[in-house]
């Protein structure tokens, strides 16, 4: 029985090798399920070496044709960790080359087979050594990259903790009013921030949204927050905006960054809120009766020019009124349009207090998929007389 260019010397050995190939293929598909740790993975290339030996025995004078197939299991085994896998590969090659003699072949059948065997064994052994070295270098490279990624992840986690720690958490000393806020960055570090702190006769509060996302925006947000706070001793709101803008233009001019800002001061006695809106435009005055007004912006964002003339405005919070300021990421929780502010106003109207309003907005941000933009909201509510009698919430 012959096939063109290939002499079949043992039909039974050929059939056996084909059956072994099918079995090895099935085993390769099954092993990952029954052996997820890969302890028995070497069984597959070991079978491949036996298949090579069987094919060599079954094809007589053409045995050397199938020797090249041994390169596949050789590479598979040699890519494992440690020099022992080079030895395993060499043993497999030797087994594949010697199996025809074990099964009955003689040197009379193919007198050049010994010389070919030694040459093939040497070539495959050298290939196994090269593959083993390349695999080791690749593993070391992957391990180094993984270590760097883990270090970066830890640094980002720590930076996120620090950024969240900078946000106000305690109550102010202002009686009859309640503050609440939340900042949910789209990444580990965000470019939004909110702040409030006590001043003589009331409290100051700020919401900022820096252009961009991530670590760079977070650093700039922390800078703007610190600069705005540095002006707490000045009654003029323009001082805070001027300092923030000057900082971005002069110190961080190469970053071409800017930030929208809503900065205000509350007089706890009269309920008057003086505010400066620098390109923000996402602040609502929600009245106790459920009606609401959007506070328009009359200034450019901070960081555009250092010599901006800042315009300020004021309003009065009556008992039961609420002031809510958010970043544009809150709009994305709806349809992304400015008209979405009506949904925010509706949430505020039905909320029991400032903290409840913030909790409802935060819940909407957390219930969906990952947000593409930072979500920040600050709520200030002037409590009604009966709430004041019970103390601040």
Judged by average pLDDT, the poorest of 94-98, 222-226, 264-268, 350-354 is: 94-98
Evaluate if pTM is beyond 0.85.
Answer: no
Tell me the H-state helices in the chain. Answer: 11-34, 43-58, 71-78, 84-102, 113-165, 214-229, 237-246, 328-331, 341-350, 354-367, 385-390
> Would the pLDDT of 111 be above 70?
no
Taking only the tens place, the pLDDT of each residue in 118-160 is: 777 788 888 899 999 999 999 999 999 999 999 988 988 888 8
Mean pLDDT of 70-86: 88
> Would the pLDDT of 48 be above 80?
yes
- 290 φ/ψ sector (left φ>0, alpha ψ -120 to 50, else beta): left
**What's the pLDDT band for 56 if we cut at 50, 70, 90?**
confident
Instruction: Map residue 378 onto helix, strand or coil.
Output: strand
Q: How far is CA 220 from the centre of its chain?
A: 21
What is the pLDDT, as a whole number, of residue 123? 85
Q: To the nearest whole percent, how much of the chain has pLDDT over 70?
A: 89
Spatial separation of the C-alpha atoms in residues 277 and 205, rounded to whole Å:
12
Taking only the tens place, the pLDDT of each residue in 15-41 is: 888 888 888 888 878 877 877 766 777
* Angstrom distances, CA of residue 249 to CA of 242, 259, 263: 10, 11, 19
What is the pLDDT, as a whole number, of residue 61? 54
**What's the pLDDT band for 58 if we cut at 50, 70, 90?**
confident
> Would the pLDDT of 178 be above 90?
yes
Taking only the tens place, the pLDDT of each residue in 256-285 is: 788 999 999 999 999 999 999 999 999 999
* Angstrom distances, CA of residue 213 to CA of 164, 187, 218, 251, 377: 15, 8, 7, 19, 17
* Angstrom distances, CA of residue 365 to CA of 284, 368, 375: 19, 6, 7
Phi, psi of 158 (to 5 degrees): -65, -40
Q: At what angle do helices 113-165 and 214-229 cross, to 10 degrees?
A: 20
Phi, psi of 292 (to 5 degrees): -150, 155
**What's the pLDDT band for 392 if we cut at 50, 70, 90?**
very low
Torsion 132-137-141-146 (CA) sign: positive
**What's the pLDDT band for 182 if we cut at 50, 70, 90?**
very high
Spatial separation of the C-alpha atoms in residues 130 and 86, rounded to whole Å:
9
């Amino acid at each position: 029985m012959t096939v063109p260019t290939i002499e079949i010397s043992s039909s039974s050995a050929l059939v056996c090798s084909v059956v072994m190939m099918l079995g090895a293929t099935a085993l390769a598909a099954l092993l990952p399920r029954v052996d997820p740790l890969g302890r028995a993975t070497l069984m597959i290339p070991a079978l491949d070496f036996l298949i090579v030996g069987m094919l060599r025995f079954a094809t007589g004078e053409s045995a050397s044709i199938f020797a090249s197939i041994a390169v596949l299991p050789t590479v598979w085994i040699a890519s494992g960790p440690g020099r022992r896998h080079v030895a395993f590969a060499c043993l497999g090659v030797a087994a594949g080359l010697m199996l025809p003699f074990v099964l009955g072949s003689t040197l009379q059948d193919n007198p050049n087979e010994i010389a070919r065997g030694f040459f093939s064994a040497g070539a495959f052994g050298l290939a196994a050594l090269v593959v083993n070295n390349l695999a080791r270098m690749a593993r070391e490279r992957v391990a180094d990259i993984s270590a760097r990624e883990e270090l970066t992840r830890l640094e980002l986690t720590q930076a996120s903790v620090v950024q969240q720690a900078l946000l106000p958490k305690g109550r102010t000393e202002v009686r009859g009013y309640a503050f609440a806020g939340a900042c949910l960055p789209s990444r580990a570090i965000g470019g939004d921030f909110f702040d409030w702190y006590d001043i003589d006769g009331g409290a100051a509060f700020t919401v900022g949204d820096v252009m961009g996302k991530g670590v760079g925006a977070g650093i700039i947000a922390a800078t703007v927050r610190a600069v705005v706070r540095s002006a707490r001793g000045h009654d003029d709101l323009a001082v805070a905006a001027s300092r923030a803008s000057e900082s971005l233009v002069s110190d961080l001019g190469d970053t071409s960054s800017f930030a929208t800002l809503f900065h205000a001061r509350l007089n706890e006695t009269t309920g008057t809120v003086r505010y400066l809106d620098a390109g923000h435009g996402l602040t609502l005055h929600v009245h106790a009766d459920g009606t609401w007004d959007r506070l328009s912006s009359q200034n450019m964002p901070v960081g555009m020019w250092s010599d901006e003339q800042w315009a300020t405005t004021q309003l009065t919070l009556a008992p039961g009124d609420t002031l809510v300021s958010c970043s544009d990421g809150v709009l994305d929780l709806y349809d992304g349009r400015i008209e979405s502010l009506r949904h925010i106003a509706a949430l505020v109207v039905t909320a029991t207090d400032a903290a409840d309003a913030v909790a409802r907005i935060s819940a909407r941000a957390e219930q969906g998929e990952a947000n593409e933009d930072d979500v920040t909201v600050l709520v200030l509510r002037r409590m009604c007389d009966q709430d004041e009698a019970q103390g601040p919430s």
